[in-house]
Amino acid sequence: MSTPPPDKPSDKGGPPRKPPEALHRDPWFVWLMMAVFFSYFWLAQGQDQQSPLLPYSEFIQSLESGEIGRVEIRGLDLSGGYNNSDKSVDFRTRLPEFIGDEFLQKLESADVDVNVKSSETPVWVNLLVGFLPWVFIIGVFVLLSRSVQSRMGGMGGLGGGLSFSNSKARRFEKKEGGITYDDVAGLEGAKQDLGDIIEFLKNPEKYQALGAKIPKGILMMGAPGTGKTLLARATAAEAGVPFFSITGSEFIELYVGVGASRVRDMFLTARKEAPALIFIDEIDSVGRIRGTGMGGGNDEREQTLNQILAEMDGFDPEDVVVVLAATNRPDVLDPALLRPGRFDRKVVLDLPDKAARVAIFQVHTRKTPLASDVDLKKLAGMTVGFSGADIENLVNEASLRAAREDRHDVTSDDFLVAREKVLMGDERPNLLTSAERERVACHEAGHGLITFYSEHSDPLQKISIVPRGRALGVTEQLASEERHNFDEDFLRDRLRIFMGGRCAEQLLYHNCSSGAADDLKQATKLARQMVVNWGMSKDVGPMGFAEGERHPFLGRELTEPRPYSEALAEKIDEEVKQLLLRAEAEAMELLDKHRQGLDKLMAELLEHESLGSEEVVACLS
C-alpha cells in the first residue's frame, strides 16, 4: 500500500481561525493605556530622581549662607536651585511635618524666589489610576480567553461566544492525482466490501428499488499499518462525496460536554452536505466499553460515546451519511456500538499474504529505480508478517542507503540491509569484548543447531553475532508460508529453540548468563499460553481461560475475578514449569549429541560473524 501525502483540507471544514497576528492587534487599547500610565509615572518621578536628595539640615545651612536662589514647595516636598545655576532643579528635600511661618520668613530674608504649588493630584490622574487596574485585568482576561480559543478551535469575536465546542473534523476534497483504489494494494477483499458503499452513493436508486438500505456504519479492524486510514480516504475519493475526517481523541477536551457538542456539530455538518462520509480514526479512544466509573474524564468519554450512538440511530432515512471507523482494538469497543443499525458491516484488514506483499512492493517501487538483481517476489517471501506501512518503510530505507552511496538504482543488497535495520536496528560492531563475543557466539550457535535439527520448526535463515539495536546476536528463521494455526509439535520445537542458547552456555561454560533473559521470557509466555489458553496439558485438561487479555484501563472491571481456583492456579504453574524443564532437557540432549557440530558452528561464527542458511548446512552436514 502506498501512503501519499494527505489531501489539503478545504476552507469549508471546521470553524474559521484568526491568524496569530489578530490576537495581538485586537487589544491595542489595553497596551496604549498601560503605556500612558507607566509613561506618566516615569516622567513624573524621573525628573525628581535626577536631582540629589539633600538632608534638611544641610538645606538650612545653605539657606543661611545665601547659596539658595529659588525653591518650589509642593506640600512637604521642596525642590530648588542654587544661585548662578543653569539647572532647573539642583536638589530636593523633605520638610518637617510641623513647620511654621518662621521657615517662610527665613526664605524671604534670604531673598529666595518662592513658588508654592498645590499638592493635590490632578483629577485625570486619579481617574487613570482608578481605572487602569480594571482595564489591565480585563485585557489579561481577553488575551487568555483568545489564547485558549486559538488552541481549541477559534472564537467568534467578543460577542460571538466560545466556539471550541464546534466539530474539529477536517473536510477533504477530491483532487487531481489524489488517492484512489489503485494506490491501495493487497486489500482486495476489503475494497470489495466497501465497493457496495461506493456504488450505493453513486447510484442509490438501483438499491432502493430492491428495498436495500445503505449500511449506517462500517468498522474497519486491523493491526497498525494495515491501511485502514488509507482505505477510508481512497473510498471517499472513489465515491466522490464530501469526506470528513477526525480522530477519536479529538472529541475529548478539558471542558465537560465539549465532546458531545462536537459530535452533534459534526453530524449536523455532514447531513447538510449529504451524501457524505464521516471517518473516525482510532474510535477505540472514545468508544470503549462503558461502566468502569473511573472518574470525570471517563464520564466525559461516556457522554461522547452516548452522543455518537444517538446520532447514528437518529439518521433521517433521506440523509445518506455513512460513518467509517477504524480501530486496532475491536475487543474493547462497547457492544452497543457494534450492533446492527450502527456499525452494520465489519471489514477485517489482515496482514498481507505473499501475493499482497508483492503488489504492495510494486506500488511503493513505482518511482524507485531498481537494479536488475531485485526480485520483488523474493522480497515478499522474506517479509512475512510485514504490514503495508512496514514495507513502505523498508523501501524507503533501501532508497536512502543507495542515495548515501551515490548510486542511481536500488539493489537487492540494499533491501537486505534495510530489512535487518527495520527488524533489529543499526549495527553496533564494536560493542562486545572478545570474551563477550565468544559467549554470544556460543549462545547463537546453540539456537542455530537446535533450529537445524528441529523437524517441525521454520527453516533457519541466518545466524549473526553482530550486535544490532538491543540484541547482541540473532538466529533468524524464515517461515516458508504464513502460519495462522500452530500445532503442538511446532510449539514444543519453539520451546526447545528458546532454550538452545542457554543450554549451549551451560554445556561449554558450565554456567548461564543474562543473555538468555528474553529467551526465558518468551518461552515462559508460550508455555503458559499452551497450558492456559490452548488446553495442551493433560493434567490441567482441555480448558481455556484467555488469561492476560483483561486490562482495567481498556473498559474492563477493576475487580474482575480470576476464572479458576487457587488449586488449579498451582497446577497451571507446575505444568508451565514442567514444559520448560522438558524443553531444556531435550535441548541439552541434542546439543550434547552434536557437540562437535556446536564447536564447529561457534568457530565459524567467530571467524565470519554472520552465516547464511547454506553456510550453516555445510557446517553441520
29-33, 336-340, 416-420, 593-597, range with the lowest pLDDT: 29-33
pLDDT for res 32: 57
Is residue 19 over pLDDT 60? no
Rounded-to-integer distance, Cα 35 and Cα 31, Å: 6
447 is in an annotated binding site: yes
Rounded-to-integer distance, Cα 326 and Cα 126, Å: 64
Work out the average pLDDT over 258-269. 79
383: CB partners within 8 A, 6+ apart: 357, 390, 391, 394, 419
225 is in an annotated binding site: yes
224 is in an annotated binding site: yes
Rounded-to-integer distance, Cα 317 and Cα 84, Å: 99
pLDDT for res 491: 94
pLDDT for res 241: 80
pLDDT digits (tens, 9 = 90+) for 484-525: 788 999 999 999 999 999 999 999 999 989 889 999 999 999
229 is in an annotated binding site: yes
- When the pLDDT of each residue in the chain is averaged and rounded to a whole number, the result is 78
Greater confidence (416 vs 41) lies with: 416
pLDDT for res 9: 42
227 is in an annotated binding site: yes
pLDDT digits (tens, 9 = 90+) for 282-338: 888 887 787 655 544 457 677 778 788 888 776 566 667 888 888 888 888 888 888
Highest mean pLDDT among 99-113, 466-480, 546-560: 466-480
Greater confidence (248 vs 577) lies with: 577
pLDDT for res 559: 45
**Which helix (H) or strand (E) covers residue 293, if one does?**
none
Active site residue 476: no
Provide, rounded to the nearest whole percent, the portion of the chain with pLDDT above 90: 19
- Binning pLDDT at 50, 70 and 90, where does residue 451 land? very high
pLDDT for res 526: 94
Residue 383: half-sphere exposure toward Cβ, Cα within 13 Å: 34
Is residue 437 over pLDDT 80? yes
Is residue 534 over pLDDT 80? yes
pLDDT for res 361: 92
618 is in an annotated binding site: no
Greater confidence (396 vs 32) lies with: 396
* Strand-strand pairing, 217-222 and 345-349: parallel
Which residue type does 290 have?
Answer: R
* Strand-strand pairing, 276-281 and 243-247: parallel
Q: Degrees (nearest 5) of the Cα angle 143, 146, 147?
A: 80
446 is in an annotated binding site: no
Rounded-to-integer distance, Cα 526 and Cα 340, Å: 37
Query: Are 231 and 194 a contacting pair, CB within 8 Å?
Result: yes
- State how far the alpha carbon of 347 is from the alpha carbons of 328, 368, 381, in Å: 12, 32, 26
Q: Put the strands of the sheet holding 68-74 in their side by side order.
A: 91-94, 77-82, 68-74, 113-117
223 is in an annotated binding site: yes
Domain boundaries, the chain: 51-119, 170-349, 354-424, 434-620
Work out the average pLDDT over 150-155. 48
pLDDT for res 177: 53
pLDDT digits (tens, 9 = 90+) for 167-199: 556 666 665 556 788 888 888 888 888 888 888
pLDDT for res 253: 63
Question: In the CATH hierarchy, which fold is given to the domain comprising 434-620?
Answer: Methane Monooxygenase Hydroxylase; Chain G, domain 1 (1.20.58)
226 is in an annotated binding site: yes
Class of domain 170-349: alpha beta
pLDDT digits (tens, 9 = 90+) for 352-370: 888 888 999 998 998 889 9
Q: Is the domain covering 51-119 a CATH 3.30.720.210 domain?
A: yes
pLDDT for res 442: 93
Active site residue: 302, 397, 444, 575, which one?
444
Greater confidence (532 vs 321) lies with: 532
519 is in an annotated binding site: yes
Class of domain 354-424: mainly alpha
Work out the average pLDDT over 259-281. 81
Q: Quick one: three-class SS letters along 383-415?
A: CCCCCHHHHHHHHHHHHHHHHHCCCCCECHHHH
pLDDT for res 37: 59
Is residue 39 over pLDDT 50? yes
pLDDT for res 328: 86
* Strand-strand pairing, 321-327 and 243-247: unpaired
Is residue 148 over pLDDT 80? no
Greater confidence (32 vs 277) lies with: 277
Greater confidence (403 vs 114) lies with: 403
- Binning pLDDT at 50, 70 and 90, where does residue 397 land? very high
- Binning pLDDT at 50, 70 and 90, where does residue 6 land? very low
